[in-house]
Structure 1
Amino acid sequence: MSDVDLRHLTTMIAIAEEGTFSRAAARLGYTQSSVSQHIAALEKTVGGVLFDRPGGPKPVRLTPLGAVVLEQGRQLLSKAEALGHAVDRFKAGDGRIDVGTLQSVSSVILPTVLRRLRDEHPTCDIRLSEAEPDDAQIGDLDLLFYDGPISDDTEHVLLMHDPYRVVAHPGDLPAGPVPARELDGKPMVAWPVTSDQPRLEQALADAGAQPRIVFRSAGNDTILSMVRAGMGLAVLPWLAIHHVVCRDCGSIHGPEGWPDLRVHELDPTPTRAIYLHWPPGRSGQSPLAARAIEIAVEVARELAPAAR
């Protein structure tokens, strides 16, 4: 049955609905001989007669085999039509993509990417998951935001360099950019030793600073809360705090009754690289994923001047 021609099924349905070969031919824009040839070919494929032909003006009638073929043929044509619509939607960018992200990208870059993508493709299906910081893999994902290369054989684009900033109580550090060596021996609340954190701590050590880590947490809000509570300062990337920094005063405002926090530049300034990864081979990539990459690059380019 794998060699059934969908055009022949369409012809059969037209005959069953119109009652005669001649009316089916007129409906389909075929000659009557072409309609007869379609049915003959279909009967050869299924191995039996599909219509009883009484002759003259009387309508043809389906045989029992014809009734079976007609029922299944309608379903097959319906599925083929649905397949065609799905392919058209895919090519138009209205399919599905699965995106892996990380905490700070989810706060700043990703919302803008999603909004623009949905504005262009309102019916697209976007599934999100947060990458494990110590074991990021592309897996079944279409796209993966991550702060560095990953072990899989993937293609990628560098979105931006994300500079680290010092967050501390007002007065704890000198005003303006802070020399990295000023952090030596100071208590610090930090991320776990995964992802880019070891590289940051090595960069601080190379600059003459070995802060005393008093608490580690993967949550940016938790780290800021611990800094407000006086546990120590924090060194966080710009993307992790950008959305909470007051544009007017450059501080991070605390809840009522809690102190505001001051944000300082570091000298020298460590940075982390934010990449967007995808499986190798652009030929297998959906138009929706390709457009998401383009938008992510645009958004990162817009953010870069503020980060600098």
Structure 2
Amino acid sequence: MDVPVPDGATREYDIMGAARGTPVRSAHCTVRVAASRDPLYLVTDAPPPRRPRPPAGDDRTRARPLSAAEHIVLSQRYAAVNAAPNKEDGDAEPPLGYRLGASTRMTVDVYNFNTAAQTVTVSGRAVGGWSVTPRRERVRVPPGGRVGVDFTVTAGPKVRPGVDLPLVFEADLGGAAVPPSVARVQRRRDRSHQRPGRQPALAPVIDKVTPKDGAAVTGPSVRLAARIADAVSGVDAERISVEVDGERIAHRFDADSGVLTATARLRAGRHTFLIRAFNCAHAPVVRSVRVRVLP
């Protein structure tokens, strides 16, 4: 394919950063590259047309370098026939999940950005009547390489068509968790007149929060209470956190009732509580509550 480029030499790199050569710039100001299943990068020496701005939040610095597990990337890959209609050009209407049949073969690509070979255990987890086989697979990935792991995703008899649900693949590297891969999948409608099921919320819900946002409360001891619920994959109790004015405080969470409680000692004035939670499919939710503590 022909890619337009500005003046200056252009260099091509693969996803692992390996140089693939210097394509020749044509009279039409393009270079020709061979399309790949993985991303390709074109780097040019030409000056930018305007001064680039860093993305929002880019002023933050990492406290530590990436671990070996964080140098492993999982990517779910499906056949083109499983894509949502018009998704390739950005015009698809939700739900956007992959359209799967009763049984679908797919691949999880495991990329190793480390400088040494790594042995990774990949496992799949489905909800809402879907299942994944095999449960887990162990693979050896060379440095700067990629290995595909095949899985079969099966829709159970109670899976309704047209309903997006999360399909999660996780991996372990020597006891350390690899960043997960989460996709949305749905059962393909076999007949055009087949009615789709009801779409559930795919992220947790935080409600029944007290005190209410903007409330005036009596201090110095202020008690926060809320309910956290998730109807799809359940709430991940280990990843709940509560902050007051940016500082984390202790909390209690009852998994049976979904009730979260926390108590903070606050001075008179305005303060902000922040509740963060995830479900077991790694979807986040954040809820903030501003209060005014009376003198």
Q: TM-score range by the shorter chain?
A: under 0.3
Which protein, 1 or 2, shows the higher relative CO under an 8 Å CA cutoff with sep ≥ 6? 1
User: Which structure is higher in strand share?
Assistant: 2
